[in-house]
A and B are shown apart, each in its own frame.
Chain A
C-alpha cells in the first residue's frame, strides 16, 4: 500500500517536471561548446593579438578591424559546431529518457534564448559600425547571459546561474576593455565547461 502511494508521488513529480521543463539538455554538449570556444579563442589570439596589442585597446582595435573576416568566420565556426553538438547530444539524451526532443518546452527555451541574443547581436553590429569596437566582446557576454537567464525558466535551474555569471563577466569586461578576448574565452569557454560538467554529473550519471 505504502509503496503504491510513493510510486504515485514519484510519478507525479516526474510528469510535472517533464511537462514544464526541457530536461533533455545535455551537460556534455556544454563541455564540448566550451572546448570549441577555447580553440576558437586561441585562433583569434593568433590572428589579432600580439605582444604589442594585449591590453592596449587602440592597437587591438586596429588589429581586429584588419582581420575582421577571419575573426567572424572563426566565431561562426565555433557557434555552428556548438549548436550542432548541442542538438545531437540533447537528442540522444531525449531518446535515452524516452522523451520527444523538439517539444513545447524546447521551443520555449530556444525562443526565449534567441530574443535577447538577437538584440545583443544587432547592437554589437551597430556598436562595431559606430566604432565602439571595444564593447563588442563584453556586450555579447552580457546579452548571452540575459538570454540564458530568460531561457532558464524552461530547463534546469543551473542555467540561471550560468546566465548570471556571464552577465557579471560581461560587466567586468566592459571595464577592462583591452582584454576582451580573455573574457570571451572565460565566458564562452571556461564557464561552459564548468557548468556543463556540473550538469553532466548531476543529471546524466
Chain B
C-alpha cells in the first residue's frame, strides 16, 4: 500500500482533529475548537496556523459588538485533502489485514 498518499500535514493528531471538527461541524471559533479537542491555546494556535498556511482552512475575522470573533472553516482544498487522507488510511488498514 502506498504510504505516500498519507498527507504530512495531517500527521499530527491535533491537526487531524481540527479538520474533523471543521468538516463535521461547519465553521467554528477558537474556543469551540479548544473545548472539542481539549488542547492548550498555544498548541491549537500553532496547528491552526500550519493548516492555514496549507490553505486547508480559512480564517474569518469579524467583530461581535466590540469583541473580535475569529471563525475557522475548512476550505474546498482542505476537505479534498482530508478525504484523500482518510481514504489512504483506510487502504492502509485494509492492506495490512
Interface residues of chain A, those whose CB is within 8 Å of chain B, are: 1-2, 5-6, 8-9, 11-12, 15-20, 98-100, 103-105
Contacts and interface: CB of A to CB of B under 8 A. Distances in A.
A101 to B, nearest CB: 11
A8 B16 contact: yes
Contact of A5 (B20, B32, B89): B89
Contact of B25 (A2, A6, A9, A19): A19
For the residues of B in contact with A, the DSSP-based class is helix
For the residues of A in contact with B, the DSSP-based class is helix
7 contacts: A8-B13, A9-B86, A15-B20, A18-B21, A19-B20, A20-B25, A103-B35
Nearest to B92: A5
B9 to A, nearest CB: 13
Contacts of B93: 2, 5-6, 9
A117 B44 CA distance: 39
7 tightest Cβ-Cβ pairs between the two chains A and B: A19-B25, A16-B24, A19-B21, A15-B20, A20-B24, A12-B20, A19-B24
A6 B90 CA distance: 9
B21 A104 contact: no
Interface string B1-43: 0000000000001001100111111001000100111100000
Contacts, number: 55
A133 B13 CA distance: 59
Contact of A100 (B17, B21, B35): B35
A15 B21 contact: yes
Nearest to A105: B25
Contacts of A98: 38
Interface in B40-97: 86, 89-90, 92-93, 96
Contact of B89 (A8, A20, A103, A104): A8
Contacts of A20: 24-25
A2 B20 contact: no
B70 to A, nearest CB: 15
B20 A16 contact: yes
Given A16-B25, A17-B24, 15 more contacts: A2-B92, A2-B96, A8-B13, A9-B89, A9-B90, A12-B20, A12-B86, A15-B36, A16-B20, A16-B24, A18-B36, A19-B24, A19-B25, A98-B38, A103-B32
A156 to B, nearest CB: 15
A8 B86 CA distance: 10
Nearest to A19: B25
B8 to A, nearest CB: 14
